[in-house]
Amino acid sequence: MRGKAVLWLGNLILIGFVTLNAHYALGLGPLAVGLAVLIAYSSYLAVRGTRRRSFIAPDEAQVGDLPPSFHPFVSLLVPAKNEARVIAATIESLSNLNYAGPNGRQFEIIAVDDGSTDDTFAVLKRLQQSMPELVVLRRVANAMPGKAAALNDALPLARGEVMGVFDADARVAPSFLRRALPRLVPREVGALQAQKRVSNAGRFSDVPLMRPAELLRRSFFLPLLQDIEMLIDTACQIARSQARGAVDLRGNGLLVKREALLAVGGWNNETLTDDLDLSTRLHAAGWLIAFCPEAVVWEEGVLTWRALFRQRRRWIEGHIRRYLDHADRLVRADIPATLKADALAFVAEFALPMWLFFGLTFWLLSAVAGIAYDPIVCCAIALGNVAMTLPFILTVTWCHVSRSPRVYPFVVLAVSVYLLHWLPVIIWTVLRLVLLRPQRAWAKTEHVGEPG
């Protein structure tokens, strides 16, 4: 992997910065001003992202009609590996899309069996008998593993001017394509991402009626928190889109123009996060990515903390790798300065937790060695992490979850505690990349097929 030296250098700079600040700490005044600016900016983004009616009630949002000059044929790609429990419902959901042209359906579905050892292929072949729009591709046993490789294998079979990518547990409304495609009309827009939600989350209205033991059971609480986290991500994506920032693809429920995809060389077989990697390469090539909250894709949330940690570790490593691999191209690209600044600013997602980790480590070592260490820097970084996230939690919970005096404080506290899991995941993933070795194999998220 390119860029491991950059990781070493970045961590050494962070260590040096924390060490110097231990002895030459800034005064309370500058820190207070910095925190105030951070809180104000984060609050502005949070309010701007959550006030949209299309976010609060996407089914009620009005969408425009497609112009006669843009009514593309769409190829919907569904990679699947050992997904026999969920794949049939996903294919049926996509088959019910009401997007048609003068000659009938204006889309096809290409399901890719990526070396499954269960009945996935048998289920797909059975569905194919009654669905003429369904194409089934079975990859050879020694094919390169991973979602990106499966998508690249399906690309030569696809007839569409637009490629849609859906996970094997995706569920969409029949109006999904009619709601999403108008966002692709502008020539400079190369791709779009739909709003993501969790299908197996409980109902927010059930919270005050449940006993603590029932509330904390794995099939209710963890998916519920992931759903609220996705709502926070939606608010952030809307704000970034309105500010001409770097909207990111999220892997499930994305549409990309064939022209844009081929211009950047297709999907990257070497990446752990095909969506984030493609996002950065599209931005560097001058394409914009739109966010479409009016179109919603539903997916399963994981049910255990172990599965959550494994999933997030892959996301973080893929996030870091894309910047190591493509940041230089992004900086040199002839694209709006706001997009560059927004994309590169998200490096703070890793820098702040690592800065906090090194600060706490030095604080602990100084206490053991009896050396004076000013904790003001660690406190400021901790408050900075809170300041970046809390406005989104407060506004999203108020606008979309509940305004009940009984439910609102509980949800805010629960989500705030839940989101702390990102700190150890980021710290462990960065240290693993620097000190050990990067993750080589693409690891899928297990789907159990719980009804939502």
CA distance 292 to 129: 33
CA distance 15 to 358: 6
pLDDT of residue 451: 43
Angle subtended at Cα 253 by Cα 332 and Cα 97, rounded to the nearest 5 degrees: 140
What is the tens place of the pLDDT at every residue in 1-29? 455 565 556 666 666 666 666 555 555 56
Name, in order, each residue with C-beta under 8 angstroms of 87's C-beta and a sequence gap of 6 or more: 78, 80, 111, 120, 123, 124, 168
User: H/E element holding 146?
Assistant: none
Beta bridge partners of 257: 162
CA distance 164 to 177: 9
Beta bridge partners of 163: 75, 256
The residue whose two tokens read 């827009």 is 189
The residue whose two tokens read 């491991």 is 4
Name, in order, each residue with C-beta under 8 angstroms of 47's C-beta and a sequence gap of 6 or more: 391, 395
pTM of the model as a whole: 0.86
Tell me if residue 163 falls in helix, strand or coil.
strand
pLDDT of residue 92: 95
Q: Are 255 and 61 in contact (CB under 8 A)?
A: no
Q: Are 133 and 95 in contact (CB under 8 A)?
A: yes
Structure token pair of residue 18: 């924390």
CA distance 255 to 234: 17
Residues 279-317: b if buried by 16+ CB within 10 A, e if exposed: bbbbbbbebbbbbbbbbbbbbbbbbeeeebebbbbbbbb
Question: Mean pLDDT, 10 residues at a time, over the chain (452 residues)?
Answer: 58 63 56 69 76 67 81 95 92 94 88 90 92 90 85 94 95 94 94 93 60 58 89 89 86 95 93 90 92 93 88 87 83 82 75 79 80 71 77 87 84 90 89 71 59 42
Q: Are 184 and 283 in contact (CB under 8 A)?
A: no
* Inter-CA distances, 360 with 35, 187, 355, Å: 19, 49, 9
Beta bridge partners of 241: none
Q: How many CB atoms lie within 10 A of CB 245?
A: 23
Beta bridge partners of 291: 193
CA distance 243 to 339: 9
User: H/E element holding 49?
Assistant: helix 28-50
Domain 63-305 bears CATH identifier 1.10.3720.10:
no
Tell me if residue 189 falls in helix, strand or coil.
strand
CA distance 222 to 153: 35
Query: Within 13 Å of residue 304, how many CA atoms lie on the same side as its CB?
Result: 7
Angle subtended at Cα 115 by Cα 113 and Cα 135, rounded to the nearest 5 degrees: 20
pLDDT of residue 1: 45
pLDDT of residue 363: 78
Structure token pair of residue 367: 């206490």
Q: Are 397 and 228 in contact (CB under 8 A)?
A: yes
Q: What are the residue ranges spanned by the domains of the chain? A: 63-305
pLDDT of residue 355: 77
